Every structure is written in structure tokens, then in C-alpha cells.
Structure 1
Amino acid sequence: MSLENYGILKGKPKDWKKGKGRNAHFQILVDDGKNEHRVAVNVNSRVAPSELLYFVDDNFINPIIENLPQLEMGYRKVARSSRNLRQDYVRGGLFDTSKMVPLECDIPSPSNDLNELIQKYVEKAADMDGGMLYAFGERWGPETFLPDSFFGFRPGSGIHDIHMNQGNSEKWQDDDAPYQDGGLLIHLPEENRWIAIFLAFQSQCFNTDDTTGHCLPDAPVQKVPETSSQTCDVEEPESIEVGSVVIVGALVNPDGVDSGKESVTLFNASPSPVAIDGWSIQDGSGRRSMLRGEIREGAGTRILFSGKGVKLSNSGGTISLFDNQDNLMHEVKYGSREVRAGWTIVF
């Protein structure tokens, strides 16, 4: 398996929001000259230990930067064969992974947590003429009928998985593959230098298979403590009320080939943000696709299926939404008469 929409988002940073709470992300608003996008960067993990591993090179020199200034603004999907534009923490010679250290998400004193570290360099790129951000990860959107849940622009569009995407624990193994790691590269032309920010979860391993990206059998196992220091206002998980997040739409029969284009739209009707890490959507045949991210209160998100999990039948069927405890949260049914090419079914 792998990330289906791995690529690079090139844009000028305009605004940002610090990550707080369980599954916190540092949110960056970028502009490509035509459209706006959001870069969602993990700064905290829901899986203990909560602190992410990070490494920053504030004078990054690597062949990968030679090709970046020539890229057009906006998102570019990177072919699997284009390894000169793909990141791999294990094989790519980007940096020494043994130098990665954990850093808390939010510490009361100034300038010493992961939120502030990322903000420092994003601010530099925003303030400098020609300053540019390159985010490596997986794209979502564009969501033509949904505004962005953090910055409000339309159409909703962005990139996430800005971290190592191999050596995952069993729950996330489907995302594993070599040469698809995320990260941030920031160009500061007035200072003639590049900044590189690389991130990984402590639950990941760095001894991975060259073909699958899975942890090798002899890979050291990360010992996860029963408790770890909690930051970013992390609270004990609360049960989410059934019906808080609902399925409001499904694109069952997209124009052209269905695979990789089918989607389901979720809406958070509750008064609070809902983290959907570990949630899943299931089709009528029992195939599932795992979910990640967060849906803000009163906002929605479109889930695009790769074709390797959920497949929506044109003959009609059932679509079910489960939380991370496998509780059924919402379910809808549709018939063949509701299926129209290129149209989204509204529930």
C-alpha cells in the first residue's frame, strides 16, 4: 500500500494557527497565486508517547532542493518513479535519523516547543520577499462546496501526512511505502539558505523493508510507557455522541474511471471539533477505509477513496461510519436510481 496522492505543495505562507488538544496539528495557510491551501502538520500524537520526534537543519543542502524552485506554484502530484522529488528518511540521505529527538507540542515558556519551532521558520518565509514553503505529504480536496474548516477559504484544499510515512504500527501499515515521507522545506532566498523540518512518531521504526516500507522483523520495538508527559491541553478521551458526525453526501459514480475518484462527505454537527483518527468508513460489502484528521465544529470534509478499500456500488448499497472503538456512528443507504454520473448523492 502507499499514499495515493503523495506530492508537493508550493506556496507562500500567509497565516498559521498553533495546534492544541489531542491529535494537534500546526495549521499553515499558503497561497499559490490562484488558490489558497492548508498545510496540516502533526505536532502531537494520540498514541503514546505523545511527543513527536523532530530534526531541523537550518542550512539544508541536498540534491532535492535543486529541482524545487522550478516547480510551478500549487500542488504537484509526484510519480513513484520521480525519486528526485520524493523524500525517504531511511534511504534518501536527507539527514541522520539518529539525531531526531522528541519535543513537546506546547510548553508555557516561550520559544521551546514544536509549535513555536515551526512558527519561527514559517514566519521568516512569510515576511521575506520570495520566501517559499514546500510541503511534502498527501493532498486532500479540492472540496468545491466546503470551506476550509480552519481558515474559511473556498474551495477547501490542503496537504497532510507531513511526517515519516513508513515503519508504521500495525493500525497504519496500509500507509507504508518507501520514498513517500513528508516534511517541510522552506526557502529563504535573501539569506541564501534552505530550512528542512522532518517529523516522525515515536511508535514508528526506522529499519524498514525496501519494497513495502513495513518494519522489518528484527526492527527495534519502541517501548511505549503507560503514561507520558501530556501537552497541548490533552484531556482524557471523551465518547463522541452517535450522530455528531454524519454522512451527508456520496459521489458513487464519478465521471470516467471510478477508482480513486469516489468519495463520501462527512459533516460535524456537534459544537466541538471531532478527531477522526482511527475512524473508518465501510461499504455494503464490508470493505473499509481508515480515516485521519479532525473535523471542526459545524464544518465538513470530503473523504476520497483510493480504490483499495471502500468501493461504492452503482447498484446501490450501504455506507457506514465507525469510530475508533468500532461503534457505528452513522449509516446511510442509497439505490441505483439515485446514482447519476458525476453527481453527488445528498443524504
Structure 2
Amino acid sequence: MSLENYGILKAKPKDCKRGKGKSAHYQILVDDGKNEHRIAVNINSKVAPSELLYFADDNFSHPIIEKLGSLEMGYKSLDRSSRDLRLDYVRGGLFDTSKMVPLECDVPGPSNDLNELIQKYVEKAAAMDNGMLYAFGERWGPESFLPDSFFGFRPGSGIHDIHMNQGNSEKWQDDDAPCQDGGLLIHLPEENRWVAIFLAFQSQCFNTDDTTGHCLPDVPQKVPETSSQTCEVEEPESTEAGSVLIVGALVNPEGVDSGKESVTLFNASPKTIDLAGWSLKDASGRKSNIKGKIRAGSGTRILFSGKGVILSNGGGTISLYDNQGTLMHEVKYSSREVRSGWTIVF
């Protein structure tokens, strides 16, 4: 599965806060001329080893920078049609990944941890009239009723996942996809240069599948040369709408609903279908990623954890999307069809 809201935020840096502790983030307050946003840069891993891999090019040169300057201020969603703006550490020719080194987030001494190295470039951009940050990652918000938890502005909004987003370990594998890596590009016009900061977790691998972005541990390490490449990957094979159908839903299981609600899918096509990257959504837009394979003429039951899709006893809609975000099937049910312990058949 890919990130749901991958894109780029172009804005002027205003303030920053250092990160500490497990899952620490370096926080950057930025302004796009209309609204404030927060860029949350992960600088520490909850999974050992805790140090992130880091590479900074303080004189970055790549065809992508020619396109960034013409972007309007603010957030821009980067869909498949925006390949020339999407980042890919493995295929994009951005830098030599073998030069990434592990770096702690917060240690005594000057210029020797991620907080200080990122801050050095952010402060340079903030001090220049036209200094600009370009953050690649996943957007959140706007959260109309919530102030930002670090800088207090309203509505809360920003961008995170400013790191490689493929080759993840199994726990985070649903976020994998090529051409959706995070990063921080900084334009310093008064010094006539660009700075690029790239980050990855040590638990990630750089040998990834061209379609899914999943780790391929038995394949020799890919080290792309820095070049004029843009992000080009093989498009996954499309699945015809109606190939996989939602045929049942257990909306109101006996006892506590959480962790027991489920949807049953059926493969009506003549071939096995890989559900990697597919998802289900409820009427409120809550999403659960799914995976696995369904053989031709067979079904599979998807059990919800309670953290994504929630099936309302009052009626609702269940939607199935493929790995390109295309709606494949959708069903509706009413409260009259909901019975304790019974599966609704569509």
C-alpha cells in the first residue's frame, strides 16, 4: 500500500524545535503566505537501532530543482501523473545511498547530531528573504478544531514521513511503494545553491520491488548513480472492476464489536489476484489496508482491528479500492439488515 496523501509542501521556514526521546521529530514551523504548517521530520527510530541513516548534499543538483521553483506556495498532491516531482531513493538518481550514515538525534557537542545538522540549513533558509523549504511526505489536516500541538496555530496541518517510504520491515510494509519517498530540499538563493536532506531507517532495505516497494533481501544492493533520472517505475497490472466483490459483512458481531467486525471478499475473475496495496473504507472515510492473495473463484475474510474501518450498526457504505486507489466495488446496507452475530450478504 502507498501513502494516502503523498505530496510536497513549499513554504517559508519561521521557527523550529528540537526533538528528543523515542520516535523524536525535529519540528519546523513554516508559512505558505496564507496558512502556517508544521513539518515533522523523524530523527529517531522506535525500533533498534534507533539512529536514522542520514545523507545531506549541500550543493544538490538534479533536474527536479528546475521544476520546484515554479511551484505555487503551499501543498501540492503528487499523484502518478507527477512522476517528475516524486522522490525515489532507489530509482530516482538522487544520490548514492551507500553514502548514508547512521546519526544520533541528540548528543552533547556541536554539529554532531540530526537536530543540529538539520537546524543549520533550516536557519539559513529562514534568515534569507527568499529562502524556501520543500518537504516531501504525507500530509495531515487541516484539523479545523485543533490547534497545532507544537506551535499552537489553527487549523493544525502539516506534513510528515520525511524519510524513505519503501523497503519497510513487516510491521510498516503497508506503507511501501516506489516513487513516494520523503525528503527535505532547501533553496538558499543568496548562496545560489540547494541543499538536500535524505533520511532512512536502518530497518529498511534498498533492494525493493519495482511495483510494490517491498524489500527484496536476496537481490544485490542497488546503488543508483546520481544522474538526470526521474522517477520511472513499471505500472502494476490493473485489475478489472468487478473482479473482486464485497459479498458479505459482519457488522454487529456478538459481544464487543471491536476486533470482530469483518468483510468477506470474493474473486470472480479467472486468475489469482494479489491484494497487496488494496484497501477498504467505511462511510466516514476510515481506511484499513489489506493484503494477501485470492485464488480464482475463492473468497477471503478481512477482519478489522478497530483502528481503521468501523462498521456502523446504523447503516453505511463499504468501499473496496485497488493498489492504484481505483474504486473496485461498493456496497450499502441499512440498519434493518443488521442483526447480532449475522453476516449481511450482498
TM-score (norm 2): 0.67
Once residues 66 and 126 of structure 1 are traced to their aligned partners in structure 2, the CA distance between those partners, rounded to angstroms, is 21
Match for residue 138 of structure 1?
Answer: 138
The aligned counterpart of 2:204 is 204
1:111 aligns with 2:111: yes
- The counterpart of 1:311, out of the listed 284, 291, 309, is 309
State how far apart, in whole Å, the 2-side matches of 1:284 and 1:155 are. Answer: 35
The residue matched to 1:149 in structure 2 has which SS? coil
Match among 261, 280, 291 for residue 285 of structure 1: 261
Quickly say closer, same or farther: Cα 1:162–1:127, change in 2 above 3 A. same
Any conservation in 1 of the 2:187–2:195 contact (CA below 8 Å)?
A: yes
**Amino acid of the residue matched to residue 93 of structure 1?**
G
2:191 matched to which residue of 1? 191
Instruction: Give yes or no for contact 1:8–1:78 (8 Å, CA) kept in 2.
Output: yes
Q: Find the counterpart in structure 2 of residue 54 from structure 1.
A: 54
Distance 2:335 2:69 in 1: 48
Give the equivalent residue in structure 2 for 1:152: 152
Partner of 1:67, secondary structure, is helix
- 1:308-332 deviation digits (Å, cap 9, x = unpaired): 4633335449xxxxxxxxxxxxxxx
Long gaps (5+) in structure 1: 222-281, 288-302, 318-334, 338-347
Report the secondary structure of 1:21's partner residue: coil
Q: Is the 8 A contact 2:174 2:289 kept in 1?
A: no
SS in 2 for 1:82: helix
* Secondary structure in structure 2 of the residue aligned to 1:116: helix
The residue correspondences of 1:25-174 to structure 2 (distance < 5 A) are 25-174=25-174
Residue by residue over 1:89-130, the C-alpha shift from the partner in whole angstroms, topping out at 9 and shown as x without a partner, is: 000000000000001111111221110000000000100010
In the alignment, the residues of structure 2 paired with residue 12 and residue 38 of structure 1 have an alpha-carbon distance, to the nearest angstrom, of 11
8 Å Cα contact 2:53/2:202 also seen in 1: yes
8 A Cα contact 2:261 2:311, kept in partner: no
2:213 matched residue in structure 1: 213
Distance 1:35 1:97 in 2: 35
Deviations 1:160-193 (A, max 9, x none): 0000000000000000000000000000111111
Residues 207 and 215, structure 1, Cα contact 8 Å, conserved in 2? yes
Quote how far apart the aligned CAs of 1:83 are: 1.1
Is the contact between residue 162 and residue 183 of structure 1 (CA under 8 Å) also seen in structure 2?
Answer: yes
RMSD: 2.2
Residues 283 and 311, structure 1, Cα contact 8 Å, conserved in 2: no
Q: What 5-or-longer segments of structure 2 have no aligned partner?
A: 222-257, 264-283, 291-307, 316-333, 337-346
Residue 62 to residue 155, structure 1, CA distance change in 2 (3 Å): same
Distance of aligned partners of 1:23 and 1:304 in 2 relative to their CA distance in 1, 3 Å threshold:
farther
Q: Which structure has the larger Rg?
A: 2
Give the secondary-structure state (helix, strand or coil) at the position aligned to 1:81.
helix
**What is the CA–CA distance in structure 2 between the aligned matches of 1:304 and 1:187, rounded to whole Å?**
36
Q: 1:187 to 1:48 in 2, by over 3 A?
A: same
What per-residue deviation string (whole Å, max 9, x for no partner) do you get for residues 31-84 of structure 1? 001101000001110100000000000000001111111111111101123111
Percent identical among aligned pairs is 80
**Paired amino acid for 2:90:** V
Find the aligned partners of 1:286 and 1:140 in 2 and give their Cα distance.
Answer: 27
- CA separation of 1:25 and 1:286: change in aligned 2, threshold 3 A: farther
Which residue of the partner structure matches residue 176 of structure 1?
A: 176
For these two proteins, the number of residue pairs brought into alignment is: 245
Mapping 1:287-302, distance limit 5 Å:
none
